[in-house]
Structure formats: structure tokens, C-alpha cells
Structure 1
């Protein structure tokens, strides 16, 4: 069972930018996407400061975000790495199972991955992630190298939108249609 303390779960910059982006998307009528809170059970409180000192996760979360983008159900998780690769260990079995089930219901599952070393962010579609995941489960490579991320799915800012990921989704979906 995971634990939370005063140094953990402070919220990443990536999630903060996604929350701002999702608010703008909602205001502009482009998408309805919400952050799914992780349920925690407080164990120790600091009454003087009114803060939680220690807590544990009540249950495993699924993904960070769920929503609907112009009629397309979406679920995605936000991942950040300081490395030049995304470790497969950063993705959990229950997340993969949830995204696979979501895809079977004709939803769109993906990761949004931010590489801190170069300050670049990408959409990683579930089908691509699954190939690396399956390979890692069979004693293959345990990470996805930065160089293997599709530059066509890179996420850029646009006007006041910090992470305009709808462009990457659009590019991905157009590519899928052309393959059919």
C-alpha cells in the first residue's frame, strides 16, 4: 500500500499545466476532461498547522484524467521523467488494465509524457505503450527511449494553452484513419 507524507503528492508541473489546459478547453467548449483525485486516508494530522502529516492510499488509482473530447471518450495518465527515457516501472499493471478495458469500449487511452531534460512533452498512444509494456514483461527493454517518441505527437503550447494536446490527438486519429 502506498504512503503519502508531507514531501509527496505535491502535484507536478505537468499536471498543473494539464489542469489549466483542461479548464481552457472546457471554457472554449473543446473538451470536458477532469483530473481524477487519488483517495487517501489520513493517519497522522498536524493540528497546529491543519495539515496531513502521514496518509496511505485507500485503493489503487486508475489514470489521472478522464473525459470526452468532441464525442471521443478519453483516459490518460501524466508521466514525467528526468531521464532520456520513460521507465516502464513508472506505469503500473492496474493502469495498463484500465486503459486496455477503456480501449475495448472504443475509448482513446494514452499517456502524456514530459521529458524534463529537454522540456518536451509527447502524447504516447496506448497501442504504442502496450508494445513496450509487453516487451518489458517478457524480459525485454525496461524503458521507452526519448528517441522512440513520435515527433508528430509532440505537444506544443498554442496562444494561452500551455499544453495543447488536442493537436497531437488529432494528428494521431488522422493517422489511424489513413491506415484503415
Structure 2
């Protein structure tokens, strides 16, 4: 696994950082989040070692992570973005549909976006993603920009918790409760 340093996520992947965070959340009994393996279809298998030597990715996966946090069902996807513009083609229609249905069932869906050039992580609540998605569906931009991101949703590290997304998730839950009161 990569190491964390003051210069950010360099030398490690976003997925490694989230997996490490999820392990700590589980150890501290804060959350139980599972990484969903990307479905593949084997094409060729080495008969002696029984290892897959050729495969292709199935298109229909849901999201990267799913689980429960303090009794709240959550699902999210992790995305890296090298530029200040996030192309919505990086999120597949079936993922948006799954996240929408997940929310309709009372769960919380979101994206964790890493703007690698800026070394900044953001929690993107589903309702923000859905607004960008609907704009695109109506013929608008097929992306959203770093400037459009609400900077108050920035994810910070906290001691050994590298991608401390429970803080913005707590805010997301609080704002939803305020909407219903």
C-alpha cells in the first residue's frame, strides 16, 4: 500500500487511500464499507496455473463501494480528475440510475472526486451530481468544472484517516433532515 505524506496522494492511488480509510472506519466500528469488485469475463485461462490470462471488463458494474455507516446505507464511487474539468462521461448512465434508486430507497449516494493537479478531494452529494447530469441531458455542458464545485464539501485527512469522508457525509445527512423538517 502507498504511503501518505504532506504532498498528498502522490505514489498511491485514490482507491488505496479509500480502502485504508474504510479499514480504519471498520476497526473503530464507525462504518462497514465494502469495495465492489469490477466484474470481468475471462477469455483465456492458463490450464496449468489456473490463472486468467485474458479477460475483459463487463460494462454493467454499479458503484465502487457500498455499505452502512451508523445504520445508514451508503454507496459511492471514487473518481480521479487530472484537469479542472470533470467529464460526466466518467460516470456511466447505469451508475447514475443505480445511485438514484439507492437514494429513493433511503440510502445516501455520493462521489469522492480527487482533483489530482490541485491535490484536493471533494465529496459530491448525489443531488449535485444529478443536477450536473440533468443539465447535460437537457443539452448543456457534458462536464462540470472545479470552479463549480462547492469548496465547503472538501474532504480533509484526519490523523491516520486519509480520506475522512464521514465529516461531509454527516453534513449531507444533516441537510437532508433539515429539508424534511
TM-score range, shorter chain: 0.7 to 0.9
2-structure distance, mates of 1:93, 1:131 = 14
Provide Cα deviations, 1:17-55, integer angstroms capped at 9, x if missing partner.
000000000000000001000121222356899864431
The aligned counterpart of 2:98 is 98
1:173 Cα deviation from its structure 2 partner: 2.2
Residue aligned with 1:140, SS: coil
TM-score calculated relative to the size of structure 1:
0.86
- 3-state SS, counterpart of residue 123 of structure 2: strand
Deviations 1:47-99 (A, max 9, x none): 89986443112451000000101111000001111010211110101001100
How much has 1:175 moved relative to structure 2?
2.9
State yes or no: 1:155 paired with 2:155. yes
Does 1:165 find its partner at 2:165?
A: yes
Partner of 1:60: 60
Cα distance between partner residues in 1 of 2:159 and 2:137:
41
Unmatched 5+ stretches in structure 2: 1-11
Q: Which residue of 1 aligns with 2:79?
A: 79
Number of residue pairs matched by the alignment: 169
Partner secondary structure for residue 54 of structure 1 = strand
Match of 2:20 in 1: 20
How is 1:20-59 mapped onto 2 (pairs within 5 angstroms)? Answer: 20-45=20-45, 52-58=52-58
Range with greater deviation from structure 2 (38-47 or 24-33) = 38-47
Q: In the aligned structure 1, how far is the partner of 2:129 from the partner of 2:173? A: 16
Does the alignment pair 1:129 with 2:129?
yes
Q: Distance in 1 between matches of 2:171 and 2:26?
A: 21
Task: Work out the CA distance in 2 between the residues paired with 1:164 and 1:66.
Answer: 16
Unaligned runs of 5+ in 1: 1-11
Distance 1:43 1:22 in 2: 32
Q: 1:159 to 1:41 in 2, by over 3 A?
A: same
TM-score, normalised with respect to structure 2: 0.86
Equivalent pair of 1:153/1:172 in contact (CA under 8 Å): no
Alignment partners' CA distance in 2, 1:123 and 1:131:
15
